[in-house]
Chain A
Amino acid sequence: MSTANLPIVAEGLQRYVGSGDDQVKAVDGVDLRIEQGEVFGFLGPNGAGKSTTVRMLTTLLRPTGGSARVAGFDVVDEANEVRRNIGVALQDAAIDPLMTGAELLKLQAVLYGLPKAQHSTKAGELLERVGLTAAGDRRVGTYSGGMRRRLDLALSLIHEPSVLFLDEPTTGLDPMSRISLWEEIRRLNNDGTTVLLTTQYLEEADQLAERIAIIDNGVIVRKGRPAELKAEVGSPTLFVSVDASVTDGAKVLLEGFGDLRPSAEGTLGVGLDDGPAAVSNVVRTLDEAGIAVKNLELREPSLDDVFAEATGYRLEGADT
């Protein structure tokens, strides 16, 4: 398949840190093919390699191996062309706290080579777009976390990039700010902008991304459309809480209904081969064995199940 018209292509992308026995494979052979106009979700826990991959794709970090093209340009040999075509909002809204929002946008306009006559207009438009017009002349140090994120997004849009990288854009935001940012991302995507979004929030990936890749320990372990990935998991998962003293016995009994699946501590998870209809049988079997059930929860396959099946542990409730 030709990769010529794909805005983001990576083949065997690697980033190794250190050497010898201390060498860490932060990213180990990542392949990506992201379609034009797509929102692509890059999902994984902290330290999985998401940000390192983004830093390589955005020219901040030189790959140890492999290759990547963004907006049609090689990220190593044509780094400046890549920079001209991408917008990036990094994980920590890295904004100079001493400057005002308007000053930062104007500086960004200068650094992107926009004509001087457009600097103020563009800054005003973007401040309005992200709802920061009133705060535009205030120093960024006085902004809330949500305001900084929105300004960060505005800064990445000053030159109307065709490809946008958003590295955990909603981490640490309150629910309202998160939803507001999601709406903005959708709007940008509707305008034709390709978006690569890294996140550790399953709901975010589910809500926004047309396709996702799950990365763990520097390796992509699953890739595809969320609905297809969930369908691959198949059966729903029943989570059963029992007393710690009878956990081993409960495990043996639950294995009769399907494969045990990763679950939070104090809970057992089992994929029900016979679907939701098997719940009553599970309860009866445990009851007959004298095991008291403290709590039951049946969940249709989710991205967390996809993640758990791929990695052996769950992202939700993990130390993120």
Chain B
Amino acid sequence: MQAPRTLLLTTIGLLLGALSGLADERAAEEGAAAPGSAQQRAFYNEQVLPILEQHCFKCHGGRASKGGLRLTSQENIRRGGDTGPAVSHDDPADSLLLRAINYEDYEMPPSGKLPAAQIAILARWVRSRLAGAPRQATDPEPDEEHGPPPVNETTRQFWSFQPVERPAVPTPQREAWVRNPIDAFIVKRLETNHLSPAPPADKTALLRRATYDLTGLPPTPAEVAAFLADDSPAAFERVVDRLLESPHYGERWARHWLDLVRYAETNSYERDGAKPFVWRYRDYVIRSFNEDKPYDQFVREQLAGDELPEATSDAIIATGYYRLGIWQDEPVDPVQEVFEDIDDLVRTTGEVFLGLTVGCARCHDHKLDPVPQRDYYRLAAFFRNVRRYGVRGADSVAASSLVEIGTPEQRQRHAEQVARYEAELQSANGRIEPIEARVEADLKGVENDEWKHAKRRPEFVKKRIGSLITQQEFDDYAKSLEHRAELRRNKPPGLEQALCVKEHGRTSPPTHVLVRGNAHAQGEEVAPGFPSVLSPPAPDIRRPAEGIGSTGRRRALAEWIASAENPLTARVMVNRLWHYHFGRGLVRSTSDLGFQGTPPTHPELLDWLASELVAGEWKIKRMHKLMMLSNTYQMSSQANAAALEKDPLNQLFWRFDMRRLSAEEIRDSLLAVNGSLSLDRMFGPSFYPIMPPEVLAGQSRPGAGWGKSSAEERARRSIYIHVKRSLAVPMIASFDGPESDASCPVRFNTTQPTQALGMLNSRFVMEQAAVFADYLQQQAGDDLTAQITVALRRVTQREPTQEEIRRGVTLVQTMQKAHDVSAPQALQYFCLTALNLNEFVYLD
């Protein structure tokens, strides 16, 4: 949550300075303490109370205690609110309450300053030490039940705050069904509930499920054929091994992680500028998954890669984690904005790595979890010294967030690449320029003006074939132009730089609890520390090696999160793995394992998996294999009436849940099935899909910040699409792509007509249908039945039925006959139909 920016208007604040000129009156009224004389009570009841009731009690009376303040009794007023006593006992004339009603610091009531006469009455009352007001509160106390849960022995016992203990694997009756311990946990619960596991999925469904699951892509016809032909018991294991070795595995699973860390490539807000080199972080994540980097290392690198003893380039790039969020370059309140940024880090880190929604404790103790406000700021202290992404007019983004990376060898190689590029460019120019020089000398009339547009030159050159130049010369010229364009598109990547975290130096400024989240209202100073309800050790903060300009605090945080003893880290991660494999976590609220999260459906299984992750040295691929080789994973998605009746939500995993493909999978599949997906172009800067002008029209400068990419670039996988926060690609957005301003642990799964409109009518999908039709022509020649068969096979990855083929043939023929369209066009419309099939976007 965020701090209200209107604290000045809504809470009574700090006591700063003093009212002068009232000292004499104060002396005169010394000792006039309440409840006071009948006269004083009358003054209070008749003059003071009506003002309080009309203007103050709505927020500061009865049960209402905004800012912790109630004005209903002397005791309450003296105790005051979050920012201290409203009326000073020793010096009532110098009271916060008086400053507030005089609009001298805080402004109360916020709806407008009271008339002078009313202020005078209240001032008189305050200076009389609140004479006449009731001494003790008679207001209802806040309901204890609804107060924030305290950190105590009871709350510390909450399941996810306890150390992971490896549970014994149960022994179910259906021993034969148990292929690995996962199955034992699952089937035991099914037996207790008188349910049976669904039969195994058929092989094509299983292959499709596994291939999308691990790579986000459909299986190829050859892969289908090979799997169907392999009758050995290890056939599926071989498939899983093959998929885990595929470089496209990393592309699929990196996407999950990018959702979590709110990955985007621009800053949002008015300028929504691009983040330089941010794609290196994306590539780092892809490579980390592909290399099967242990999860604890993955955590350490992202949180503190720069502070590790071996700060490799990869580890530096990983700290780009800190730079992925939104950045307000023109803050209304620059001091407050520092803490908005820190809040983003506390919140994201808490949710992603620990499954705790600590962000809620920024302004007050967490209302639902035992996270006191003090704990929030102790956690914030780990990030207190982190420099902002940039400060407009002061610290540039380059100075604050970029660093040159790379070994001397890499620099050498870079220099060579640049030299080679320049040489090739020069050589291309050497072939282009002589021809152009000849033509330039021959230009006539308006051609002279047009010549300055490089794009127009080829047509003027072409016009002179046969007169000034030969066909051969033109062909060479055209080829050289194409070569030069290609070169320019593929410039060697700039000097190796990375987006990274930086700190202000080796000493952090102090961290204070901020009253109601207000950066201008500093409370108690706190030291870095972990959430107390987790019974954590004290942070082991060590100064990093000489030459590293940071405090070592983030490393201490990273080491604690990545330790086997942390009760949450492994649980959170295995639960996420389960969620992505099975469509929902054992805890459905995958970023909230706290009090308000959903309880785990299979707590023992969760703990067993967590201990297994740690025991397997935090390797992820091993966990994938374990989950996918279980019978639980390999069940059919078919319903049976009895089970549906008993457990309609499949809480107990009596079957495998169907799922719709994600936005990226849908786009990638469109390109994959028609043979145009460019799988080889992995990594590097992102590309720009063609954005419909209707969408660009929503920008204040239509087209700004959206480049043009070549057709080859545009055929890359969706993970390489440029993520611009204020300009979502319609297809990705409508199929529930993540909103990247905050962490996205679970994607929505909506069904809406906008999706249908996009899939039916968008130029992109219509073009893909045309490419698909061409592909069918190549694969199946002119035989319509064969074309339809191949199309359905590609889209569903199974053998179509005769009826399905006949239906397609009929559609194509009717289109031709009744609507007088050509055969290729009718085929294109059939392809469009095929790409809209439910079966294309849903997995069994």
Do A and B form a real pair? Answer: no
Chain A residues engaging chain B, CB cutoff 8 angstroms: none
